[in-house]
Amino acid sequence: MAARTARPSLYISVDIEADGPIPGPYSMISFGAAVAGRQTDASYTAADPQARTFYRELRPISDQYVPEALAVSGLDRDRLLREGTDPAEAMAAFRSWVREVAEEAGAQPVMCGYPASFDWTFLYWYLMRFGGDSPFGHSGCLDMKTLYAAKARVPLRAAVKGRMPAALRSTRRHTHHALDDAVEQAELMSNLMLWEGPEGGKDLRSSPN
């Protein structure tokens, strides 16, 4: 029997801002997404991270919040309570956007984050809580910290941006605005995918868009 051919992956960088450490008791107050690139079995094609993006600011879902966490984003919680997008509406729009860009690319969508653990926890919880469906499935996420640690052959705790080669890091500022940071991390994702590692080993190749 012939081996099944793996479908290409479309990597979508996602960054979220929250007013506390876990979803449910606390709220995701904004999130941004940017298409990073497309991978087939043998190649990775970087995308313009500003070309296909998504951003929403959300109405909080509880009265609880951690002031220090809220301050990171700089968002006004009272304004979000009045003007933030309803979470169910936001997640429905996001599902449609993910499926649209994935269909255009002929690929399966994969969320990527730096680190993915925090952002994926909130994103997946919101997708399932508000609509019961995730376009990424239950495990379609990739952690850039782990990707760097594996390629650089360093312990995971040493996989921090400040220790990465300068050429890997995006030149964009990390602003804690969810869309800005999603775009920045999309650039990092493509740089990591195309990096040959510290010893210049065999790597994926890219055909720029």
Catalytic residue numbers? 176
- Provide CB contacts within 8 A for 37, sequence distance 6+: 10, 11, 44, 45, 46, 47, 186, 189, 190, 193, 206
**C-alpha dihedral sign at 156, 120, 58, 19:** negative
DSSP H helices in the chain: 67-73, 77-83, 87-105, 116-129, 144-152, 178-194
Residue 193 CA to residue 183 CA, distance in Å, equals 16
Taking alpha carbons only, the member of 91, 159, 93 closest to residue 126 is: 91
